[in-house]
């Protein structure tokens, strides 16, 4: 048995503070605001206790109904409401390391076009969907030139434009009618407009509402964006992001634009800790190596995705993300990036082992 009680919290940081005061010696597995994610974590990670914020609202049922259903599935976990001492159940815990899963809205953006934003967004979102068993979504909010459907070999419809007439009355689970499912990964995708003239139908309020609904419907939401830093839609996406993946390459123009963007993001109050700088198409013998990229941008790289045009072109042609490929260096680097972005997600051991093996040979 573990020496410390392992507690999963369904609530916010205020609930976490209450639990820490009540049980200072307990070990916190995670703090989640989405009860769907709570169920997922409980299925994957042994926990002793679930503490619930009484103000949290499950979808389509009362909190009491959700607790009853949870107890039927996990009869050995005891559940209590934050601030109350009543215990409902107890679990003998195995000596397995706890892993944390968080709700996240992850925006993939760059001020420079052609740096591989959509490639990264589709691959990271598909990897996350496989880990969370479908509790992830990708929103193609590059309204004027979205290519997500091409990268994932999806149908022409439905798209975001079919959703607009019903948007104001739509519930979170109503999004399912307008998503396309990427079968190999289980990812839910809201595709951008198929025709340019339809793009003007989508405004900032639509985007705000869609992101809000998606955050309630899925635990992890990825958003692909356009490179236009002056776009109100891009601004809304960045404002909604809990994590911003800022993409650059070793191209001089890309680096200059990203440096300018970092300054703008700082001025508008975007936390530096929420910005994950990713170097895509990294070439080791480039005249601008990774070290110089970091020095110029005055920011550490979270990941350097190797340049592998043959694999990437094959991926796009087949509509099959690279993360679904086998033992490739670029696939391993993408799985490592998933771990860096969402450190608690239980990335398959085989993927992490492949990545380490490749890095030893590379460096």
How confident is the model over 224-240, as pLDDT tens digits?
Answer: 999 998 999 999 999 99
Asked whether residue 138 falls in the same domain as residue 190, the answer is: yes
Asked whether residue 77 falls in the same domain as residue 215, the answer is: no
- pTM, two decimals, is 0.71
Helix (H, G, I), strand (E, B) or coil at 115: coil
> Rounded to whole angstroms, how far apart are CA atoms 69 and 228?
46
Residue 201 lies in a domain: yes
Give pLDDT tens digits for 327-361: 789 999 999 999 899 877 777 764 444 444 433 33
pLDDT score for 93: 27
Give the rounded percent of residues in the chain with a pLDDT score beyond 70.
Answer: 88
Cα distances from 162 to residues 159, 194, 276, in angstroms, run: 6, 11, 33
Cα distances from 255 to residues 109, 260, 295, 298, 301, in angstroms, run: 14, 9, 11, 11, 13
Q: Are strands 180-182 and 187-190 parallel, antiparallel or unpaired?
A: antiparallel
Which pLDDT band holds residue 100 (cuts at 50, 70, 90)? very low
pLDDT score for 349: 60
Which pLDDT band holds residue 2 (cuts at 50, 70, 90)? very low
Asked whether residue 50 falls in the same domain as residue 128, the answer is: no
pLDDT score for 101: 42
**Structural domain that includes position 172:** 104-362
Residue 96 lies in a domain: no
What's the CATH number where 171 sits?
3.40.50.300
Tally the domains of the chain.
2
Residue 94 lies in a domain: no
Assess contact for 111 and 226: CB atoms under 8 A: no
Q: How many residues does the structure list for the chain?
A: 363
What's the CATH number where 32 sits?
3.40.50
Asked whether residue 294 falls in the same domain as residue 203, the answer is: yes
pLDDT score of 96 more than 90: no
Give pLDDT tens digits for 26-55: 888 888 888 878 887 888 888 989 999 887
């Amino acid at each position: 048995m573990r020496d410390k009680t392992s507690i999963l919290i369904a609530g916010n940081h205020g609930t976490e503070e209450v639990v820490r005061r009540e049980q200072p010696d307990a070990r916190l597995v995670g703090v989640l605001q989405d009860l769907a994610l709570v169920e997922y974590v409980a299925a994957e990670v042994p926990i002793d206790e679930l503490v619930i914020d009484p103000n949290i609202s499950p979808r389509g049922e009362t909190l009491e109904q959700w607790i009853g259903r949870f107890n039927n599935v996990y009869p050995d976990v005891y559940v209590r409401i934050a601030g109350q001492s009543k215990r409902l159940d107890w679990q003998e815990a195995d000596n397995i390391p706890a892993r944390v899963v968080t709700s996240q809205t992850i925006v993939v953006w760059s001020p420079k076009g052609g740096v591989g934003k959509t490639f990264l967004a589709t691959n990271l979102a598909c990897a996350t969907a496989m880990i969370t068993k479908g509790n992830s979504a990708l929103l193609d909010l590059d309204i004027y030139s979205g290519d997500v459907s091409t990268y994932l070999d999806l149908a022409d419809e439905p798209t975001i434009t079919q959703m607009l007439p019903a948007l104001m009355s739509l519930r979170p689970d109503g999004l399912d009618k307008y998503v396309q499912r990427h079968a190999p990964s289980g990812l839910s995708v809201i595709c951008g407009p198929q025709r340019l003239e339809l793009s003007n139908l989508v405004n900032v309020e639509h985007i705000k509402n869609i992101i809000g609904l998606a955050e309630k419907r899925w635990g992890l939401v990825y958003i692909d964006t356009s490179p236009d830093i002056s776009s109100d839609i891009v601004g809304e996406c960045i404002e909604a992001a809990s994590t911003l993946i800022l993409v650059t390459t070793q191209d001089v123009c890309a680096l200059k634009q990203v440096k300018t963007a970092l300054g703008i993001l700082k001025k508008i109050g975007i936390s530096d800790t929420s910005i994950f700088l990713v170097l895509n198409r990294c070439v080791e013998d480039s005249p601008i190596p990774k070290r110089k990229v970091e020095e110029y941008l005055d920011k550490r790289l979270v990941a350097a995705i190797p340049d592998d045009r043959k694999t990437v072109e094959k991926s796009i042609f087949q509509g099959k993300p690279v993360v679904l490929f086998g033992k490739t260096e670029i696939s391993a680097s993408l799985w490592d990036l998933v771990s860096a972005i969402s450190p608690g997600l239980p990335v398959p051991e085989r993927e992490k082992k492949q990545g380490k093996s490749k890095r030893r040979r590379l460096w």
